[in-house]
Amino acid sequence: MSQPFHPLQIVDRLEVLTLMDNYVDVLLGSTDRVIRAPHVRDGIIEQNALLAEHGLSLLITVHQEDKSSVILFDTGYSAIGVPHNMAYLGIRPEDLNTVVLSHGHMDHTGSLYPLLERMAKPVALVVHPHAFTHPRYIQMLDGERRQFPRTLIKDDLIQKGVHIQESKTPVLIADKMALVTGEIERTTSFEKGMPNAFFMKDHQPVPDPIWDDQSLVLNVKNKGLVVISGCSHAGIINTVRYAKKITGVNTVYAIIGGFHLSGPFFEKIIEETILEILPFDPEMIVPMHCTGWTAIHRFSDTFPDAFVLNSVGTNLLL
């Protein structure tokens, strides 16, 4: 499908700050590579607090010699959560101008529009074309259809001055210091996406493979690849394998993001997923968002040294 994408630059270091996740805990301790958000200022416990919701948003800062770049990866579920947490953490939307969307579901696009109003212009938005597909819905066992809200409208974004970069293939961003995977090859036998996801095409329901699922890949000096996923609808194993293929880099340093292993269907593939991750031998693994408690618990048991329990406001230093 794609040849190795060798122009990806090696970076000196990066930071991955969680602006939104499903979980927040102010009592978690920091380490030399995992810095938790402060909840005490000038000796007084904050009355204000970080918010959690069923969504994901990460602020990724990449450093290479004397230059750096900041990428906003997804924007959470609600229009409230991410802007609130950014204000709490002292982050100005005005300083941002690059957004990557992992896919078009509402729990990854919720704060996009209010943030665009305040972001630096021009705004670059990297997105897979299928992210604009509407209507999309989930078919329940009893036949009920639950339609996803429409949170991405291309014409609206263009009118707001957004430079939309639609691509099914890998895209280099941030002065070639980061790579958006584009559409991910699906080669495993057990990662089958969401079997009850559909979209309407020519007034007929069609299975939705969620082709827009994409991830962010970086290559850290003397460490290896950092793979950052949104929901891994393509499968986290497929995602990491594809990241290795398009970069030509075999060493995987960190796997971060939503792995979508929650619920009866996906819990069946937890053990197979873990078995396939073991050969990657990551030094850090940070399951987030849609991974689910059962899977997170298993990752903690299997990778005791690499595992990090995430929380809103956590800053990973890589």
Reported as a single tens digit per residue, the pLDDT across 165-203 is 999 999 999 999 999 999 999 999 999 999 999 999 988
Q: pLDDT (tens digit, 9 = 90+) per residue, 197-234?
A: 999 998 899 999 999 999 999 999 999 999 999 999 99
Which residue's entry shows tokens 């906003």?
72
* Exposed e or buried b per residue across 156-168, where buried means at least 16 C-beta atoms within 10 angstroms of its C-beta: ebeeeebebebbe
Distance of CA 307 to the CA centre of its chain: 17
Q: Answer yes or no: is pLDDT of 6 > 80.
A: no
What is the layout of strands, in order, in the sheet containing 57-64? 34-35, 315-317, 13-20, 57-64, 67-73, 98-100, 123-127, 162-166
The domain spans of the chain are 10-317
The secondary structure of residue 77, as a DSSP letter, is S
Mean pLDDT in the chain?
A: 96
On whether the pTM is more than 0.75, the answer is yes
**Cis peptide upstream of residue 279 (ω within 30 degrees of 0):** no
Q: In the predicted model, what is the mean pLDDT of residues 59-77?
A: 97
Task: Label residue 280 by pLDDT band (50, 70, 90).
Answer: very high
The dihedral formed by the CA atoms of 176, 179, 183 and 187, expressed in degrees to the nearest 10 = 130
Residue with structure tokens 């100005």? Answer: 92
DSSP, residue by residue, 160-194: TTEEEEE-SS-EEETTTTEEE--SPP---SS----
Q: Which two three-digit tokens encode residue 36?
A: 């938790």
Distance linking the first and last C-alpha atoms of the chain:
30
Please say if the pLDDT value at position 79 is more than 90: yes
User: CA angle, 84 as apex, 258 and 296 as ends, to 5°?
Assistant: 20
Give CATH for domain 10-317: 3.60.15.10
**pLDDT for residue 1:** 46
Residue pLDDT, tens place only, 82-93: 999 999 999 999
pLDDT at 3: 54
DSSP three-state, residue 210 = coil
Q: Is the pLDDT of residue 272 over 70?
A: yes
Q: Is the pLDDT of residue 261 over 50?
A: yes
Residue 90 region by backbone torsions, left for phi larger than 0, else alpha for psi between -120 and 50, else beta? left
Please determine, for residue 5, whether its predicted confidence score (pLDDT) is greater than 70: no
